[in-house]
């Protein structure tokens, strides 16, 4: 049984299950178990970086992932699965 605080909207559930790109990006991020950049995800999924970024933005809206700015000289945004997203299994 999923955690009580996990509320997946119909739109979110539909995207995870039906949209193979969206679900694939989320699954790849979940499997890495660390923060990664959109470019890293694009390389590992074979998708264009702009497509991956669009999916990550939507996942962030749903509360599935969180954005982590880096503190390097060249700022790069990294993403990791948020607490709400960790309980999702499909």
How far apart are the C-alpha atoms of 65 and 29, rounded to whole Å?
9
3-class state of residue 42 by DSSP: helix
**pLDDT confidence of residue 86:** 82
Sequence-distant (6+) residues with CB within 8 A of 87 are 2, 3, 6
**pLDDT confidence of residue 12:** 76
**pLDDT confidence of residue 70:** 74
Ordered per-residue pLDDT tens for the chain, 90 residues = 444 455 566 677 777 766 788 889 999 999 998 999 999 999 999 999 999 999 999 999 988 899 997 777 777 899 999 988 887 765
* Burial (0-12, 13-18, 19+ Cβ within 10 Å), 18: exposed
Q: Which helix (H) or strand (E) holds 49?
A: helix 49-62
**Residue 26 CB coordination number (10 Å):** 25
């Amino acid at each position: 049984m999923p955690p009580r605080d996990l509320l997946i909207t119909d739109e979110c559930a539909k995207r995870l299950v039906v949209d193979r790109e969206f679900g694939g990006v989320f699954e790849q991020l979940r499997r890495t178990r660390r923060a990664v950049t959109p470019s890293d995800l694009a390389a590992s999924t074979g998708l264009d970086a702009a497509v991956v970024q669009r999916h990550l933005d939507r996942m962030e809206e749903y509360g599935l992932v969180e954005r982590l700015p880096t503190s390097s000289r060249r700022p790069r945004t990294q993403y990791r699965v948020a607490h709400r997203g960790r309980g999702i299994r499909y």
